[in-house]
């Protein structure tokens, strides 16, 4: 037997028990008859729906407001959605009409109005757009964006189920749209495949906010005896009528993903059976339905379908991070350079702390010991100090990474580099996995500790006498055993294994990049438009809009600030004499890069067009924000403009007049193209005439934007090159498409040098160049002193000069240094071109000269110290200290003090230079001295 829902028209099939709720829309059927009465009930429902059915059959002849209804697109929980056409402009929209049976129900009308208001608040590329709301002959309606493609439910019907990668890509689009709603404290409560619409580019938009709930206003419009949502995708607390929050949408998203991959919902049966299963039964495993599903993805989906909201992902952002590795579109795993930089930041910080602790331990041992008079005690005490330092260093690094990566998912370095360590479920891996990961990197499989124990315990006689050769051999062994596993892990990172090294594979962890889930409000200090009071003779309302002020006016043309009371949304109204032309041909544009036309009409001989507002400023005005006007923050806006120009050329909707003043940037970083500039700013930019062909107007529009960027921004060399190539290309649509392709291809590349990027450069520099250069310097100094012997301190200029030449040659050869090549950074001159090799050489020399002096002093200090120790040991063994020897010891002490002071001073110079480069990331001290700056390649 079957029953048709009076609300949504869904046919419900059942055997014995008559369902109480519709499994599709959740409306209460209020039926509890015996099976014998089912045919009568079915007839009653068909009679109840007769009026609506008749309306659908003659919908082509109906006029609702300014729209002519077309075919029915489907039934929702509260009404029927039609394809409609705006009579005057021909714009095709989707019009949702409240069912005539519910139009008499005040609570249903309130929910319907609330749907329009909540949906209108959310303006995001991954949500459908609401144009207007109104009432026709007592029947409320909502006009929204008509999606040209199908829904995910249609795609499922045709294909049965979707591949894992494509299903995850679709769900990530859904999550992005819902996150925008959640940021406004709006909960959707009805996420399902039929409410996820495919756009022409294959991307998904979330629609139908009919059951949405605002957590701010806390308006309770739930009908007694029914729950809000679709049973197949409703969370247990939603079915019980309990409180809902973000985790309710997390459940629905997980249930939708399950359906997309498995080809059927997690729970099946009639409505009563499904609701009972959702409340009481555990969801089946996704792998039980599809064998090829990764186990990690199976666990993620199972977690979203948990009965207890506390056991689910607490936010959609957390779920998004967990799903990113399974996406074919998104790259969640970061480049090796950023991960290396994070590691070096942590390593430098902990190593510095270990050196301080070891120094304090050494001072304590020296203060408590009387070993200078005992030659055998000298070697023992120094060896003990070396052993203690090694133990403290190894244990400190191991514990720091184990706790940071395991318990918190990120160390300080990873936090600065916006990285996170996660397990297969996208969560912090826990202490056990953190220990396994840390045991390999930086623990180096405990090889340094084993070597240290062997040297300390198995050869005590060799440690009684301290000499420079032993120390250098120990230093070389420690560095090799410490860094060899790191190099092995780097070598094993491949795209086929998710860029995971041995430590990630063995511990079952991975590193992901923490992207911003929504564009940040970057341009918070943009100048805002202030509305002036309207004159007394001005109308209080235009159409459904209440006028609140005047934003701009020039002659008969004005831009008014208004508010749509029905949707509780502000709008801009362009009012101008009808003789100046109309904008009707371009009112049908439904793209995110263009201001949406909400309504239009005529008043007192003038035409008026209401548009959505722009929360931002003109792009040319944003150029004054020097701290924010960089390529990283403007690239997306320029891409939005290029995409809009390409689309406008394709459908003929390009504005007749174009100037840079029509290009606006929102506080989120998105770009918007206005139909015409604001009157007060018209002519401030390079306005173009309408006599040129459309392709040339679009080309000149982009050229004006690029010229402003070249004037105001420090650009990566690759950007300057493609702008120069753009200027040389033909002024046609193919060039506009080429610009879009270039900008999209550069979206994953480094766009600017900011403080965290420079910090990453410093971290990689410490891990690569500093280790290599300091080791090279120490060994050079060792062999220098070993071959020539101790020299007067002023003759140390010889090795310093030799090392300086080496640093200059490296900078000259690599145009800046090895790390710059590794992290794709260029050195530019003041004019914006590549700096000459000579400048790069001198820059590298200045950067590393303090290290050369510091390491030379350190090596000399070690040589003097060991020579002093040997002489003291020899004098003590003879039980006689001559007057000449005493003077020599005193002189050596003075030399040691001088060398120590020089080393400390130049060490401080290095730290000050590093801190200054973080504050001024594009121009460090060495850049100021040689006239260079850093930009991405």
Write out the catalytic residue numbers: 190
Q: Which residues on adjacent β-strands are paired with residue 83?
A: 94
How far is Cα 215 from Cα 26, in angstroms, rounded to an integer?
21
Which distant-in-sequence residues (6+ apart) come within 8 Å of 32 by Cβ? Answer: 18, 20
How far is Cα 241 from Cα 239, in angstroms, rounded to an integer?
5
What does the block give as tokens for 717? Answer: 């060399």
Closest CA to 698 of 720, 667, 729: 729
How far is Cα 375 from Cα 660, in angstroms, rounded to an integer?
82
Closest CA to 819 of 766, 753, 895: 766
Which sign, positive or negative, has the C-alpha torsion 575, 578, 579, 584? Answer: positive
897 backbone dihedrals φ, ψ, rounded to 5°:
-65, -40
Q: Which residues on adjacent β-strands are paired with residue 11?
A: 4
Pairing mode of beta strands 130-136, 204-206: unpaired
Closest CA to 125 of 514, 594, 629, 567: 594
Q: Which residues on adjacent β-strands are paired with residue 74?
A: 81
Pairing mode of beta strands 557-564, 67-75: unpaired
Pairing mode of beta strands 671-673, 63-64: unpaired
How far is Cα 30 from Cα 173, in angstroms, rounded to an integer?
37
Closest CA to 743 of 619, 635, 634: 635
Three-state DSSP at 66 gives coil
How far is Cα 112 from Cα 618, in angstroms, rounded to an integer?
36
Three-state DSSP at 25 gives coil
Whether the link from the prior residue into 442 is cis, omega within 30° of 0, is yes
Q: What angle do CA 922, 928, 933 make, to 5 degrees?
A: 30
Task: Produce one character per residue of 405-419: b if its CB has 16 or more CB atoms within 10 Å, e if not.
Answer: bbeebbbebbbbbbb
């Amino acid at each position: 037997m079957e029953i048709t829902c009076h609300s949504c028209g869904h046919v419900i099939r059942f055997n014995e028990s008559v369902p109480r709720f519709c499994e599709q829309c959740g409306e209460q059927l209020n039926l509890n008859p015996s099976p014998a009465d089912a045919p009568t009930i079915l007839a009653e429902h068909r009679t109840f729906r007769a009026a609506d059915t008749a309306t659908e059959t003659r919908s082509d002849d109906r006029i609702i407001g300014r729209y002519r209804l077309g075919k029915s697109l489907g039934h929702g929980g509260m009404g029927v959605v039609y394809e409609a056409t705006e009579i005057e402009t021909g714009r095709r929209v989707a019009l949702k009409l409240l069912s005539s049976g519910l139009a008499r129900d005040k609570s249903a009308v309130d929910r319907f109005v609330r749907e329009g208001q909540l949906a209108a608040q959310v303006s995001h590329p991954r949500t459908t757009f609401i144009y207007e709301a109104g009432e026709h002959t007592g029947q409320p309606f909502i006009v929204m964006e008509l999606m040209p493609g199908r829904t995910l439910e249609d795609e499922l019907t045709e294909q049965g189920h979707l591949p894992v990668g494509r299903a995850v890509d679709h769900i990530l689009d859904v999550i992005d749209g819902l996150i925008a709603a959640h940021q406004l404290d709006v909960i959707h409560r009805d996420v399902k495949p039929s409410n996820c619409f495919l756009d022409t580019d294959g991307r998904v938009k979330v629609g139908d906010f009919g059951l949405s709930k605002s957590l701010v206003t806390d308006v309770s419009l739930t009908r007694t005896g029914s729950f809000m949502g679709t049973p197949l995708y409703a969370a247990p607390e939603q079915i019980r009528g309990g409180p809902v929050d973000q985790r309710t949408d997390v459940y629905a998203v997980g249930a939708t993903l399950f359906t997309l991959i498995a080809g059927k919902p997690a729970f099946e049966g009639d409505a009563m059976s499904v609701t009972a299963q959702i409340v009481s039964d555990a969801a089946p495993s996704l792998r039980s339905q599809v064998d090829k599903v990764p186990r990690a993805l199976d666990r993620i989906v199972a977690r979203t379908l948990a009965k207890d909201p506390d056991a689910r992902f607490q936010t959609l952002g957390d779920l998004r991070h967990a799903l990113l590795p399974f996406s074919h579109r998104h790259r969640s795993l970061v480049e090796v350079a950023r991960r290396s930089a994070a590691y070096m930041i942590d390593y430098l910080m902990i190593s510095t702390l270990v050196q301080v602790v070891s120094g304090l331990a050494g001072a304590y041992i020296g203060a408590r010991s009387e070993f200078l008079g005992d030659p055998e005690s000298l070697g023992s005490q120094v060896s003990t100090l070396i052993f203690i330092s090694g133990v403290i260093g190894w244990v400190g690094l191991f514990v720091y990474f184990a706790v940071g990566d395991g318990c918190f998912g990120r160390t300080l370095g990873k936090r600065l580099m916006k990285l996170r360590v996660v397990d297969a479920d996208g969560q912090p891996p826990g202490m056990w996995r953190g220990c396994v990961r840390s045991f390999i990197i930086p623990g180096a499989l405990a090889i340094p500790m084993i070597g240290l124990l062997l040297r300390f315990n198995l050869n005590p006689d060799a440690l009684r006498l301290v000499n420079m050769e032993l120390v250098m051999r120990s230093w070389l062994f420690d560095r090799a055993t410490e860094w060899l596993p790191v190099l092995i892990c780097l070598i094993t990172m491949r795209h086929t294994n998710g860029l995971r090294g041995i430590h990630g594979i063995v511990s079952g962890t991975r590193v992901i990049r923490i992207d911003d889930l929504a564009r940040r409000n970057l341009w918070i200090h943009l100048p805002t438009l202030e509305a002036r009071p309207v004159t007394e003779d001005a109308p209080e309302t235009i159409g459904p809009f209440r006028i609140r002020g005047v934003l701009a006016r020039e002659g008969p043309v004005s831009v008014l600030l208004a508010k749509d009371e029905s949707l509780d949304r502000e709008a801009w109204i362009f009012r101008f004499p009808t003789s100046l032309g109309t904008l009707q041909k371009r009112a049908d544009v439904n793209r995110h890069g263009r201001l949406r036309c909400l309504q239009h009409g005529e008043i007192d001989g003038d035409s008026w067009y209401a548009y959505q507002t722009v929360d931002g400023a003109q792009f040319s005005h944003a150029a004054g924000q020097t701290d924010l006007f960089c390529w990283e923050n403007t690239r997306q806006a320029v891409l939005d403009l290029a995409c809009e120009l390409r689309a406008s050329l394709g459908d003929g909707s390009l504005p007749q007049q174009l100037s840079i003043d029509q290009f606006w940037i929102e506080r989120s970083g998105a770009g918007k193209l206005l139909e015409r500039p604001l009157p007060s700013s018209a002519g401030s930019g390079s306005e173009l005439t309408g006599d040129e062909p459309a392709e040339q107007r679009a080309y000149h529009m982009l050229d004006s934007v690029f010229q402003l960027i070249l004037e105001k921004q420090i650009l990566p060399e690759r950007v300057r090159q493609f702008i120069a190539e753009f200027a040389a290309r033909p002024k046609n649509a193919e060039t506009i498409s080429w610009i879009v392709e270039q900008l999209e291809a550069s979206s994953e590349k480094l766009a600017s040098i900011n403080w965290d990027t420079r910090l990453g450069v410093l971290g990689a520099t410490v891990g690569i160049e500093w280790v290599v250069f300091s080791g090279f310097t120490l060994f050079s100094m060792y062999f220098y002193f070993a071959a020539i012997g101790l020299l007067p301190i002023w003759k140390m200029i010889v090795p310093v000069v030799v090392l300086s030449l080496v640093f200059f040659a490296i900078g000259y050869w690599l145009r800046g240094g090895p790390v710059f090549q590794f992290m794709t950074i260029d050195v530019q001159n003041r004019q914006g071109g590549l700096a000459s090799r000579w400048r790069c050489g001198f820059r590298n020399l200045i950067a590393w000269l303090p290290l050369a002096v510091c390491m030379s002093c350190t090596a000399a200090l070690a040589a003097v110290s060991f020579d002093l120790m040997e002489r003291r040991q020899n004098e003590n063994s003879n039980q006689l200290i001559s007057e000449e020897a005493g003077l020599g010891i005193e002189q050596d002490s003075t030399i040691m003090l001088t060398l120590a002071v020089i080393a400390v001073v130049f060490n401080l110079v290095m730290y000050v230079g590093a801190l200054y480069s973080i504050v001024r990331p594009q121009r460090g001290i060495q850049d100021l001295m040689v006239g260079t700056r850093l930009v991405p390649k």
